[in-house]
Amino acid sequence: MHSVLLVGAALNYFGGLNLLASMVVTFPTAFPLVRGAAPPRPPDYVLHRLFTAGTAFCFGSMYVYLYWHPAHAMPFLLFGMALKYWAFAASWIAYRRFQLPGKIFVNFGCTNLAVGVLFSIYLLTGS
């Protein structure tokens, strides 16, 4: 069951790379480009993407650490699990109310939900 931590880390690293790469290129799982968007373009757009990607890398690294040191998983995974559920809820709201593309909802929201559930099982089973 400890492999769940590596799954969480891999998805965080993938998500962070996806965010960074989608700022300059388009590919099937990319977040939409705003670079060429018509005004108003938020002046803090790049800052939010860079911060979010860095946060994904930090949490991914924490999950790798917890894989090697599972005795420390509690309480850190509680925060990670809560963030995963929040990521799903936020993407659901954005999808339903603000036209977030479906592929982004699946790629970001549903994968975060899946990892949140896996983390919940990990914590509840005491693995």
pLDDT tens for residues 49-72?
Answer: 899 999 999 999 999 999 999 888
Q: What is the pLDDT of residue 33?
A: 64
Residue in the block written with tokens 């590596």: 6
| pLDDT value at 84 more than 60 | yes
Domain membership of residue 52 as a residue range: 3-125
User: In this structure, which long-range contacts are made by residues 100-104, counting pairs with CB atoms below 8 Å and at least 24 apart in sequence?
Assistant: 101/32, 103/28, 103/29, 104/31, 104/32
Q: Name the domain count of the chain.
A: 1
Taking residues 95-122, report their average pLDDT: 91
Q: How many CA atoms lie within 13 A of 11 on its CB side?
A: 22
Q: Would you place residue 75 in the very low, low, confident or very high pLDDT band (cuts 50, 70, 90)?
A: confident
